[in-house]
Chain A
C-alpha cells in the first residue's frame, strides 16, 4: 500500500511539473498583453511601457520567466501584475469566500441526489420516475445563468429581499445572529443554482447504478431469504451501488477552483472563480498561473485520493495491491 501511494505521488509530482511548464508556455504564447502594458492607453508612452515590461520580466525568454515565477511562488513573494499584492494571500482570501458556497452546493448535490435517484430506481417507470427524469433533463439542458436570472428576478420581485453578494448592505449594526443568518440567506440561491446541474446529473447516476445493482443475484438472494424491502435496498443494494461514487468524491477537489465562475459573476460573489476570470481578462499572468498550478495539484491530489479511497472501500482491490507489492 505504501509503495503504491509513494509511486503515485512521485508520478503526480512529475506530472505537476510538466503541467506547469505547459500552462506557462500556453498562457504566455496566447495573444494579448497584461492590461498594465496595454499600448492602446494614450497616456502611456512607449518608454513607460518598456519600464513596466522590464519590471514584469515580460521581455525575458520564456524559461527565465518560468524560473522567476517558480522562484517567487516558492518564496511567497509572487505579486499580481494588477495591484502588486501577494498572489498567495489573494488566493487564500478568495478561497475562504468560495468555500461556503462550495460546501453548501456540494452538500445539496450529494444529499438530494441520492434519495431522488434511489426512489426513481425503485419506482422505475412510474410517474415519480418519469417526473424526475424530465426534471433532471430540463435542469441539465437549461443554461444555469439563464435560470439564475429568472430566479433572481422572481425572488427580488416577490419577496423584495436582496440576493446578490455575500451579505445585505447596511446591516453592520444588527445583532450578530441576524448578520449570520443574512449571510446564510445570501448563500441559498447561488449555491442552489450552482447545485442544480450537479444534482440532476448525479441523481441520474444514482438511478442507473441502483438499477444495475437491483438486478444482481445477491439482491434477489436477499429478497429470497425474506429480508425486508428497505433492508434489501439500503443495505444490500445501496452499499454496492456506492462504489463508483467513491471515485467521484476525489474529483470534487478541483471543483474548489473555478467551479462556479458563472455563478460568482452573476451573484457578485467575490470568490476564486471570479478572481481567475478577471485575471484572465487582465492577462494577470502570476494569478492565472498560480491558480492553474493549484488546480493541477488539486486535480492530481483528487485522483490520488479516489484511488486510495477505492482501495480502502473495495477489499478486492486492496488484496490485489498487496499481492502486487
Chain B
C-alpha cells in the first residue's frame, strides 16, 4: 500500500533532513578556534533595527549607534564631557555685537545721537578705568553705513469672511547706521555695561515705523505685526556669537573624496532645507550664516546668544558630492521616478540612507533589514584604524534571546536587566560596568492646581515616601537618588544638594501647618475637602506602575488619598500630559549634555503640547534658565546651573526619585590596547568615562584569545 508507506516516510524523511543540518553547524568553541576572524569581529545586539542611516535625519538609538561609527562630526565630547576636536582641529568663539545708531535718542547729557559721536563717546569712555574689563574685551569698533533689505513677513489677518488667514508679505527695512563691536569673548551683559555711556533708556525704544516701507493698503493691526517681526529680526542691540572652526586636513570620505569646508556648509544647508524634514533643524536654527573662509576653515555666525548651539556640531558631516543637486538628479533618473515623486524628493528618499558613506571609524558594508548591519573598519582613519576589523549590529528583538546569544558568544555585549546584575558581577567570565546615564524618574505635580501650588505641600508629599524603597525593591539596588533637574553625571548637577529626608511625621507636620487636619476616616481634610488627587502614568512600564503603588501606600500613611490609573502611551500624552489635565504623573526624562533647561522648566513653555507640562513658574528660575543658555563661560555657566538646581530642589515641583544605573556586560577577553612608542603593546582594563559610556575608546578594543589578568 504505497499511500500508507508515503504517509509514514514523508514526515520521517523531512525530519531526518532537518535534523542532520545540526552536524554542519559549528559550535561556538569550534567557531573561535577554526575562525580566528571572530576575535577581530565585534557583534552587538540591538532590540530594534535602525531606521535611517543619515546623521541629519535619524532619531532612534539603533541608527544613532551606526551613524556615530560611520560619520564623524566637527567636535565630540571627551572623557569629561567637554568638547574636543574631531574633523575640526581647533575653534575659537568670539562675538560681533551691533548697535543701531538711533537718532531719536539723546545721550544722557542731551546731545543728539549720531554714528561718529556714539563711537567717539564709547572710545573715550573705554579709556576710563571703570570700563577696563570692557575695553580689554573689545577688539575693534566699526561703523556700518545704512542699507536696505527686503524681508518676507508672515502675517495673520482676517479675510472677507472674517476667518483668520496667513499671508506672506514683502516689506523693505531701511537698516540704520550700526556700530559693530568685535569682541574677543562672548559677553551677554555687553550692552548693559555700555548703558552708562549711551544712556539708560537707549535700548528701550527704536522708531521702526520710520524705517519700514510697506504697501499703503496694509491695515493698522497688520502694521503692528510687521513692526514686531522686523524688530525681532533686527533688534536695536544684537549679539552675534561667531565660531571659527579650523578643519582637519587630509581626511577622506570612505569613497576617497577629500573632506573640506564645503561639506560643512552643505550639511548645514541640508538640515535647513524644509524638503529634508530633518528633526535637527531646531539645533541649527540659531545659526545666521555659515561662511567658508577657505577649504579648511569655516565661520559660523549665530543669530543670538545660545551657548548650547555649539553642541550641534558633534553631528556627523555629510559628503556633499554624493548628495548635492547633481547627485540627486542622477539618482532620480536611475530610479525612473514619476514627476510627483521627483517634486517631493528629499534627502529622506535617497538610497544614501541605506548605504551611507561618511568619514568615520568604520565604513558601511551591508544592511539586511531587521537582521543585521555590517560595517568594516576604515583603514585610513586619521587617528589610526580600529583594532576590530568588522562590526555587526544584530537585531535580536527579544531580550531573553539576546541574553542567550550573549551567553553563547554570538553577541559580544549585553545590557543587563537590574535583577541580573548581581549574577553577572559574580561571573568570572564577564566584566561588568554600572553607571548612571542621562535619565531619571520623577513624580511631577501639576503646579497649576491649587492643591499643589504650595512648595511646602509638594515637599511634604516627597518626604512621605522612602525613595530608597523604590531603588531597593524595584531596581534591585541599581539606582541612585536624584535631587534636581540635571543628569547626575554632568557637571551641571550639584552634588552638594541633599535629597529630601524620609520623614512621614515631618511631612504631616508640614501639612498640619498648612491647615490640613486628620478627619475621622483617617484622611487629611481642610475646609471640608479631603486631600485627594489622581496619580497617573503610562501602561507598559511595570516599574512606573509599581512606583504608583508604593507612593499611594506611603501617602495613605500620612492621610493623603491618592487614586492611581494608567493609560496607553498615546492616550496618556494626548488626553492628559499635553493638555495639562492631570493632578500628578510618574514619568522620566532622558536628558542631553547641555545645561539648557528652557523647554522643560521655563514658564513660557507651559502651554499645551509643551514640555513644562507641570506648569512650573518661577521668575527667578526663568531668569537663571535664560542666563545659562546665553552664557559662554563654562565656569560661570556651572555656577548658574548649580544655583538653578538648588532653587528647583527647594521648590520641589517634582519629587525627584532616582536615576537608574545602567549595567553593561562584556566578555573579559575584551581589553583596551595601547601601542607603546617602542612598538610593544600594553593592555588596559576597559573603563567607563564620566558619562558612563564604556565605548569611548572603542577604537582600541580588542578581543584576546585568553583572559588577561589585571
Contact = CB atoms under 8 A, between A and B. Distances in A.
Interface of A: 31-33, 36, 39-46, 48, 51-52, 55, 75, 77, 79, 82-85, 90, 93-94, 97, 104, 107-108, 111-112, 114-115, 118, 149, 152-153, 156, 159-162, 164-166, 168-171, 173, 177-178, 181-182, 184-185, 187-188, 191-192, 228, 230-231, 233-235, 238, 265-268, 270, 274-275, 278
B160 to A, nearest CB: 24
B26 interface: yes
B43 A169 contact: yes
B281 A268 contact: no
Given A43-B282, A164-B401, A165-B372, 17 more contacts: A41-B59, A43-B59, A46-B609, A48-B279, A77-B337, A77-B338, A114-B7, A152-B401, A152-B404, A156-B408, A160-B28, A165-B396, A169-B392, A170-B41, A181-B20, A265-B397, A270-B368
B354 A274 contact: no
Interface stretch (B31-39, B223-231, B249-257, B422-430): B31-39
Interface residues of B, number: 78
Contacts of B48: 278
A181 B400 contact: no
Contacts of B283: 43
Nearest to B53: A83
Interface string B388-407: 00001011111011001101
A36 B59 contact: yes
B592 to A, nearest CB: 8
B370 interface: yes
B3 interface: yes
* Interface SS, A side: helix
* Interface SS, B side: helix
Interface stretch (B100-108, B131-139, B564-572): B564-572
B282 A48 contact: yes
Interface in B1-53: 1, 3-4, 7-8, 10-11, 14-15, 17-22, 24-29, 31, 35, 37-38, 41, 43, 48-49, 51-52
B519 interface: no
Interface string B81-121: 00000000000000000000000000000000000000000
Interface in B46-80: 48-49, 51-52, 59
8 contacts: A41-B59, A162-B410, A168-B31, A169-B392, A185-B22, A266-B401, A275-B370, A278-B48
A42 B370 contact: no
B404 to A, nearest CB: 5
Contacts of A168: 25-26, 31, 410
A228 B10 CA distance: 23
List the 4 closest pairs (A to B, CB-CB), nearest first.
Answer: A32-B570, A181-B24, A270-B370, A185-B21
Contacts of B397: 265, 268, 274
Given A108-B14, A234-B4, A44 B400 contact: no
B404 A182 contact: no
Nearest to A108: B14
A270 B395 contact: yes
A184 B27 contact: no
B21 to A, nearest CB: 4
Nearest to B60: A35
Given A79-B349, A107-B14, A188 B279 contact: no
B611 interface: yes
A161 B7 contact: no
Contacts of B37: 170, 173
A288 to B, nearest CB: 15
A230 B3 CA distance: 9
Given A77-B338, A77-B341, A83-B52, A230 B11 contact: no
A46 B3 CA distance: 69
Interface in B463-510: none
Given A41-B279, A182-B25, A268-B396, A93 B369 contact: yes
A161 B81 CA distance: 41
B354 to A, nearest CB: 7
B280 interface: yes
Contacts, number: 184
Nearest to A36: B59
Contacts of B341: 77
A200 to B, nearest CB: 15
Contacts of A79: 349
Interface string B532-573: 000000000000000000000000000000000000111101
B27 A160 contact: yes
B427 to A, nearest CB: 15
Contacts of B337: 77
Contacts of A231: 1
Contacts of B404: 152-153, 156, 164
Pick the most buried of A41, A42, A274: most chain B CB atoms within 10 A of its CB: A42
Contacts of A75: 338
Contact of B398 (A115, A118, A192, A266): A266
Contacts of A178: 24
B27 A159 contact: yes
A298 B26 CA distance: 39
Contacts of A39: 573, 578, 609
B514 interface: no
Contacts of B348: 84
A55 B277 contact: yes
B677 to A, nearest CB: 34
B526 interface: no
B10 A164 contact: no
A160 B408 CA distance: 7
A82 B369 CA distance: 12
A184 B369 CA distance: 20
A161 B22 contact: yes
B209 interface: no
Nearest to A228: B1
Contacts of A159: 22, 27
Contacts of B52: 82-84
A31 B568 contact: yes
Nearest to A113: B11
Contacts of B394: 165, 169, 268
Contact of B281 (A48, A115, A162, A274): A48
Contacts of B24: 177-178, 181-182, 185
B458 to A, nearest CB: 23
Contacts of A166: 371
A160 to B, nearest CB: 4
